[in-house]
């Protein structure tokens, strides 16, 4: 069971910031009692999972892996938690992340690194690295993550599991600690595609508490799981298969696509000409929104306070001492891009390029049903290996365009390197076409 698995491996993996075993056992007992009383049991009932620690859980400490929220116990549940509780899901704990979800390796956690279960000298990816490592190491059957620029898909790819970023607005963000509000989405990390569909069934849907949540009907995503890709038109964007990409990654991804072609899919090359600008655009828009969202951590409203001589000194000390280096870097970049005199040159320009990136996809989707790419240009790298922030940002080339365009994407395992590291295939769909990408992923898997 997952608890003995936790005892055996969690010390080496470090996926969890907080284990809630007692609560989990009580939840499991409640399910048993229902069953004994002959009551109907919801589908997810009793199945233990884990939740990224930037998703608010009532009465359970939620830190975003930041010292500034070290003592924060939310007085409310995120909407996804309310929905999971209505399904009698069992929650094993809160998982590690890059501080405020800023990063791609989980090394930016203020509390601990998480290790990749396939090779503990390597990162699990990020920022949902704790969630991915928990599922991959068997200490959770499912997990929730958040994805602003790849944080569900890339760790899924590094850890050899399935990660789904829904369409922007498909899942309520209420109770997700905001990083970049126009990009953030919550989604599932699971062992296989079927579990991802089940979890999406539970968490998707409109929410009066999130004005950006879509009112579109939620289908039963498991109905989409037919092992059939006959006639499915797959686009391969030439801008994503670039020099410098790891050879083994490229070979695995091309092999996966050839396998789908053999199953009856039609493959053609397409072009998404503004791809080159996606990383720069993302690293202006995301920090700009982050700078605004993180203003609320002022030592007054939430979390930790460091006393000072007066109000301004208190706020300055709190933020100086309690935010980590990467968070500060982004607040500075964001405020710079938003400041008078630079706003037009940076932020406004980035918004315009964002529209061009969206239009690239919309044009491509007139021709094809799905677009396939590697999820990440490399397999999991060594802890400490990425020394410059820029080098790290460039890793996000395949994942950030979807967030900028609001599109759904899934990462599904498509093989291993010779050294035994997992590789992920990314499947991108039209807005609200989660069923199509789930079907393609299921057929391949």
Number of residues forming the site for ligand GLN (CB under 6 A): 13
Question: Given the rule CB under 6 A, which of 101-109, 208-216, 271-279, 338-346 is the region that contacts ligand GLN?
Answer: 101-109
Parallel/antiparallel/unpaired status of strands 16-19 and 233-237: unpaired
Whose CB is nearest to ligand GLN?
Answer: 151
Which residue in 53, 147, 289, 369 binds ligand GLN (CB under 6 A)?
Answer: 147
Bridge partners, 185 (sequence order): 147
Query: Per rule CB under 6 A, is residue 160 in the interface with ligand GLN?
Result: no
- Looking at residue 412, the DSSP 8-state letter turns out to be E
What is the C-alpha separation between 246 and 241, in angstroms, rounded?
A: 10
Which residue in 102, 176, 197, 272 binds ligand GLN (CB under 6 A)?
Answer: 102
Question: Given the rule CB under 6 A, which of 35-43, 81-89, 99-107, 418-426 is the region that contacts ligand GLN?
Answer: 99-107
Parallel/antiparallel/unpaired status of strands 90-95 and 48-52: parallel
Tell me if 156 sits within 8 A of 189, measured CB to CB. Answer: yes
Quickly tell me which residue has 């699971």 as its tokens. Answer: 190
What is the C-alpha separation between 290 and 108, in angstroms, rounded?
A: 16
Which residue in 14, 46, 104, 175 binds ligand GLN (CB under 6 A)?
Answer: 104
Residues numbered 284 to 323 that lie near ligand GLN (CB under 6 A) are: 286
Question: Given the rule CB under 6 A, which of 18-26, 146-154, 342-350, 367-375 is the region that contacts ligand GLN?
Answer: 146-154
Tell me if 424 sits within 8 A of 159, measured CB to CB. Answer: no
Query: Per rule CB under 6 A, is residue 150 in the interface with ligand GLN?
Result: yes
Task: Give Cβ neighbours of residue 42 (< 8 Å, ≥ 6 apart).
Answer: 86, 87, 88
Respond yes or no on whether the N-terminal peptide bond of residue 127 is cis (omega within 30° of 0).
Answer: yes
Using only the alpha carbons of the chain, give its radius of gyration. Answer: 21
271 is catalytic: no
Task: Report DSSP letters for 311-323, one per residue.
Answer: HHHHHHHHHHHHS
Q: Give start and end residues of each alpha helix (H) in 310-423.
A: 311-322, 325-338, 349-364, 389-394, 400-405
Question: Given the rule CB under 6 A, which of 20-28, 76-84, 97-105, 334-342 is the region that contacts ligand GLN?
Answer: 97-105
CB of 101 to ligand GLN, least distance (A): 4
What is the C-alpha separation between 37 and 52, in angstroms, rounded?
A: 33
- H or E stretch covering 268: strand 266-270
Question: Given the rule CB under 6 A, which of 41-49, 112-120, 149-157, 227-235 is the region that contacts ligand GLN?
Answer: 149-157
x-or-dash string of contact with ligand GLN, 360-399, rule CB under 6 A: ------------------------------------x---
Respond yes or no on whether the N-terminal peptide bond of residue 8 is cis (omega within 30° of 0).
Answer: no
In the complex with ligand GLN, the residue whose CB is nearer, 100 or 442, is 100
In the complex with ligand GLN, the residue whose CB is nearer, 107 or 147, is 147
Query: Per rule CB under 6 A, is residue 77 in the interface with ligand GLN?
Result: no
Query: Per rule CB under 6 A, is residue 204 in the interface with ligand GLN?
Result: no
Which residue in 2, 45, 101, 144 binds ligand GLN (CB under 6 A)?
Answer: 101
Residues in the chain: 445
Neighbour-count burial for 154-173, b at 16+ CB within 10 Å, e otherwise: bbbbbbbbbbbbbbbbbbbb
Which residue in 48, 49, 93, 103 binds ligand GLN (CB under 6 A)?
Answer: 103
Question: Given the rule CB under 6 A, which of 142-150, 241-249, 263-271, 412-420 is the region that contacts ligand GLN?
Answer: 142-150
Query: Per rule CB under 6 A, is residue 127 in the interface with ligand GLN?
Result: yes
Query: Per rule CB under 6 A, is residue 124 in the interface with ligand GLN?
Result: no
127 is catalytic: yes
Parallel/antiparallel/unpaired status of strands 16-19 and 266-270: unpaired
End-to-end Cα spacing for the chain: 25
Q: Exactly one of 131, 146, 151, 411 is catalytic; which is it?
A: 151
165 is catalytic: no
CB of 378 to ligand GLN, least distance (A): 14
Which residue in 151, 201, 373, 398 binds ligand GLN (CB under 6 A)?
Answer: 151
Query: Per rule CB under 6 A, is residue 53 in the interface with ligand GLN?
Result: no
x-or-dash string of contact with ligand GLN, 219-248, rule CB under 6 A: ------------------------------
Q: Is 384 exposed, middle or buried (0-12, 13-18, 19+ CB in 10 A)?
A: exposed
x-or-dash string of contact with ligand GLN, 179-198, rule CB under 6 A: x-------------------
Q: Exactly one of 127, 172, 252, 411 is catalytic; which is it?
A: 127
Closest CA to 72 of 58, 81, 64, 61: 61
| Residues with catalytic function | 52, 127, 151
Residues near ligand GLN (CB under 6 A): 101-104, 127, 147-151, 179, 286, 396
């Amino acid at each position: 069971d997952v608890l003995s698995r936790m005892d055996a491996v969690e010390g080496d993996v470090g996926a969890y910031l907080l284990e809630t075993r007692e609560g989990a056992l009580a939840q499991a007992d409640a399910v048993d009692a229902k069953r004994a009383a002959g009551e109907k049991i919801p589908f997810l009932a009793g199945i233990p999972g884990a939740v990224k620690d930037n998703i608010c859980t009532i009465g359970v400490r939620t830190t975003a892996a930041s010292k500034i929220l070290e003592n924060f116990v939310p007085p409310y549940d995120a909407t996804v938690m309310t929905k999971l509780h209505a399904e009698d899901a069992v929650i094993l704990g809160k998982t590690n992340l890059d501080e405020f979800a800023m990063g791609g390796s989980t090394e930016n956690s203020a509390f601990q690194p998480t290790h990749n279960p396939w090779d503990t000298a390597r990162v699990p990816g990020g920022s949902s690295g704790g969630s991915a490592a928990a599922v991959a190491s068997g200490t959770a059957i499912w997990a929730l993550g958040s994805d602003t620029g790849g944080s569900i898909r890339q760790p899924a790819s590094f850890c050899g599991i399935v990660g789904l970023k829904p369409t922007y607005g498909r899942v309520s963000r209420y109770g997700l600690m905001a990083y970049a509000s126009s990009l953030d989405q919550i989604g599932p990390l699971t062992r296989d595609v079927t579990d991802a569909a089940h979890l999406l069934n539970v968490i998707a849907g409109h929410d009066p508490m999130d004005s950006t949540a879509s009112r579109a009907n939620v289908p039963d995503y498991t109905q989409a799981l037919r092992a059939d890709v006959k006639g499915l038109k797959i686009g391969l964007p030439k801008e994503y298969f670039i020099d410098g990409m790891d050879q083994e990654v490229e070979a695995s991804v091309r092999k996966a696509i050839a396998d789908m072609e053999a199953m009856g899919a039609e493959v053609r090359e397409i072009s998404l000409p503004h791809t080159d600008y996606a990383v720069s655009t993302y690293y202006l828009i995301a920090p700009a929104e982050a700078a605004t969202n993180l203003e609320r951590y002022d030592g007054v409203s939430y979390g930790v306070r460091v006393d000072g001589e007066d109000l301004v000194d208190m706020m300055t000390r709190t933020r100086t001492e309690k935010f980590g280096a990467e968070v500060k870097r982004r607040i500075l970049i964001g405020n710079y891009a938003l400041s008078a005199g630079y706003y037009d040159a940076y932020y406004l320009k980035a918004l315009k390029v964002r529209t061009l990136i969206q239009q690239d996809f919309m044009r491509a989707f007139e021709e094809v049903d799905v677009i396939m790419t590697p999820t990440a240009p490399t397999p999991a790298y060594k802890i400490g290996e990425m020394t410059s922030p820029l080098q790290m940002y460039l890793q996000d080339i395949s994942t950030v365009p979807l967030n900028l365009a609001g599109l759904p994407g899934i990462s599904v395992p498509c093989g291993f390197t010779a050294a035994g590291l997992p590789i992920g295939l990314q499947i991108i769909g039209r807005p609200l076409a989660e069923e199509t990408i789930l079907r393609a992923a299921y057929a391949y898997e």
